[in-house]
Structure 1
Amino acid sequence: MLDATITAPLPNSAERPPKRPKSLATGASKRAQCSQALERIIEASRLEFIAIGPAAAKIDTIAARANLTRQSVYYYYKNKEEIFYDIVIRETEMLVEQFDHLDLEGEKPDAAIYKLLLGLGENADQAPILSAFMVSQACLPGSDKKAKAIFTKMIHKIVGRVQILLDLGAEQGTIRQGVDAANFFAAACMITSGAKNNRQSLQMICDIDVNDEDRMTSWQFFAVDILMRSIRTNN
């Protein structure tokens, strides 16, 4: 389960990578050159970030988890921050793909939105790094403009899909007029997937252990019901 330390803003890496030839690609910019070693680095980094948080993670430890040398890690990435944002982008791509598979014509808009919201809770398990990143509102480094642009573009694509569903529902009379997709999606993330990254609040206020699957499932249905009531015309 995701540790609360993962939501802390990322510091500038103090680790100094060995000098790399200019022709060597980073994982974020050259996906076509992905290899089995790169995938091992990604998975090892994901586990390390979940276990102790990105701020405490070390390249040496990531390399050990991946059963690789630190030079192998630096072949693909300049620092751990670059790995972190590569994982964020990868998990965002996975979320976009899930949204792309939504049946906008064969399913009623409110039913599609309901399914979408339940999926956000599942996404916290499938894409924990993205979930923590969105909830903590950590900022991408200004130097990594490409990663920031990619992430922003994909999130806007998701919001656009949500707006289509909201507008269709409004036309059919099942959803209130004028619901803003960006506001709705942000609220949805905070109380669905976001709940799993706020273990202390749930524990103190609701006496819910985020490791308790049954209690968290009940919370997810409760949260989705609240969200749906906020946009339906008959509530």
Structure 2
Amino acid sequence: MSSNPILEVDRLVAGYGQTRVVHGLSLEVRQGGVTALLGANGAGKTTLMKTLCGLLPVQGGALRFLGEDIGRSTADKRVLSGLVLVPEGRMVFPTLSVHENLRLGGINQRARPRLRQNIERVFDIFPRLRERSSQQAMTLSGGEQQMLAIGRGLMAEPKLMLLDEPTLGLAPVMALEIFALVRRLTAEGLTLLLAEQDVHRTLDVATHAYVVENGRVAAEGPAAEIAGDPRIRQAYLGL
């Protein structure tokens, strides 16, 4: 990984109350491209994502984003700085329209002046959302809701987008669309940290990969090396 780190996680400890899930985990996300976060259900990926974006407290270790210590920053301040989570399960506002969901994504002080332009950009990326602009989010298909969740994240003008299980529960054809979108966004310069169960396709789009097991990094390296290492494939990825 040649470019500068945009996110540095140093011996992070995190969890839920007295229950620790992440145990001294360290990783870096470098500017540009996709860093993959792989591991079985329960490995600690979602807990890590929630801690990175400020939904869970840092219980130990350090977080630095763009060189600044963000370990005590609130979630909204992290969004303002450009660290944006698209959560597992989509979590759109079901009774609000597509357009209203997108507007809420762009309310931070940095992005708000370009609200209209950013909505147009999202509609250009997701033409189906333009067609359904006035529909309530709960009337969308699962794939369309995932588009809306990603579009809402883009409205915040992220410098680093955290994508947590974006293809979970989607039909195969829609999952392929999500991976195509990942390629498009990185080609446009966005940096992504992607947690995914589809190991093959994730390693195919990623530049670097971390394998998480029991809240710790079990293996890491260039994605192509992780994909080609039979020991890692068998021991951690079930391949």
Pair in the same fold by TM > 0.5: no
The structure showing larger relative contact order (alpha-carbon pairs under 8 Å, at least 6 residues apart) is 2
- TM-score normalised to the size of structure 2? 0.25
Q: TM-score, normalised by structure 1?
A: 0.26
Query: Greater Rg, structure 1 or structure 2?
Result: 1
Q: Which has the higher helix share?
A: 1
Q: Specify which structure has the higher proportion of strand.
A: 2
